[in-house]
Amino acid sequence: MGNRGKKLAFVFPGQGCQRVGMGKNLADNYEEARRVFEEADEALRFPLSELCFYGPEEELTLTRNAQPGIVATSVAAFAVMRSEGIIPDIVSGHSVGEYSALVASGALSLEDAVRLVSIRGQLMEKACPPGVGGMSAVLGLDRDSVVVVCEEACSVGWVEPANYNSPGQIVISGDQAGLEKARELCLAQGARRVIPLKVSGPFHSKIMEPARRALECELEKVNFRTPSIPQVMNVDGKISRSGARIKESLGRQISGPIRWEDCVREMWKSGACVFLQAGPGRALTGLIREIQPEAEALAFDGSTPVDDVLRFVREV
């Protein structure tokens, strides 16, 4: 791909990027995207596409709806790129974005992906009683320091790393006492800011263990094929070519940390210099530039003209 033969990575976003109207431009303008939303609606037996396009926002932001909505929108964006002859050399996704990546790599059908993430969202909601805890983003403190802070903060509660997003951004999960103590310690260690996140619970933490066990039962019912495109998994930041190993990783991921920085470094190590985010928002492009400043990154969710994206991919 590209005039200089640089490898292309497709990356797929996770929860938090959802917004009312996502995917509508894609479905309005591209038959390939429209078919993706129709298939997702049929798989879930309810009009997910209507919820994505028109809301209401309070319904769309529910974890059980946001996750399949993000996957459908991301796969729709991928389908448009594929129809234009743009095929990635490697893929990865952030948290629930792994399911979008699995569809792109051919390891999982769209029908199974949206069904699984709908169940995953319900299990995550069930595992998080209101007020049990939350998440905070730590800015400007290195990974080792955050790990030590979390260990120390467990003297008053519990808290643990949840997302290693970039060298300057690590998200932690915990109960309120643990999070507050970790905030105090992080700032004392030199963190620029510690920002509470608007989430319904402490995702990617030990509180998700019941959800992990239930999800593993659901994963066992699904056939995972060997991916036709290499996929880097969140649990270890390594390429996986085994359907069985991917299935195991998806189970571990729901209650363990997302190693996004490691994923990006692995893609770069494999030769990927150009990164295209397929799906809502553009959060991953910023993280990629923090992790690998030499990388070229662009987001495509239907709002950017396809011709601009094609020019970027082919000329960069």
CATH number at residue 25: 3.40.366.10
DSSP label at residue 256: S
Per-residue model confidence as pLDDT tens digits over 227-245: 999 999 999 999 998 888 9
What digits encode the pLDDT tens for the residues 133-191? 999 999 999 999 999 999 999 999 999 999 999 999 999 999 999 999 999 999 999 99
Judgement on whether residues 56 and 144 belong to the same structural domain of the protein? no
pTM: 0.96
Residue 294 domain flag: yes
d(Cα 45, Cα 306) in Å, to the nearest integer? 31
Q: Is 204 among the residues known to form the active site?
A: yes
Residue 129 has pLDDT above 90, yes or no: no
Chosen domain end from 173, 200, 227: 200
Q: Is 2 a member of any domain?
A: no
233 and 189: one domain? no
Query: Does one domain contain both 94 and 216?
Result: yes
Last residue of a domain, one of 149, 165, 200: 200
Structural tokens at position 157? 């509660």
**Which pair of tokens denotes residue 209?**
């263990």
Q: Give the up-direction half-sphere exposure of residue 120: CA atoms within 13 A in the CB hemisphere.
A: 29
What is residue 199's predicted lDDT score, i.e. its pLDDT?
84
How many domains are there within the chain? 2
d(C-alpha 95, C-alpha 79), whole Å: 20
Residues 214 and 196 occupy one common structural domain: no
Instruction: Note whether 108 and 227 are same-domain residues.
Output: yes
**What residue numbers bound the domain in which 181 lies?**
134-200
Of 49, 95, 205, 255, the catalytic one is 95
Instruction: Check 166, 173, 204, 240 and give the catalytic one.
Output: 204
117 and 144 within one domain:
no
Q: Is 75 within a domain?
A: yes
Helix (H, G, I), strand (E, B) or coil at 135: strand
Distance CA 98, CA 235 (A): 11
Q: Taking a C-beta distance cutoff of 8 angstroms, is the pair 78, 37 a contact? A: no
Q: What is the pLDDT of residue 304?
A: 87
74 counts as catalytic = no
Domain shared by 212 and 156, yes or no: no
pLDDT at 82 over 50: yes
Cα separations (Å) of 30 from 26, 153, 291, 302?
Answer: 6, 50, 33, 10
Confidence of residue 201 (pLDDT cuts 50, 70, 90): confident
* Any domain includes 1: no
Do 119 and 163 lie in a common domain? no
* Residue 275 belongs to some domain of the structure: yes
Q: In this structure, are 171 and 272 located in the same domain?
A: no
Q: What is the pLDDT of residue 5?
A: 65
| pLDDT greater than 90 at residue 295 | yes
Cα 160 from Cα 178, distance rounded (Å): 9
Q: Are 214 and 270 within one domain? A: yes
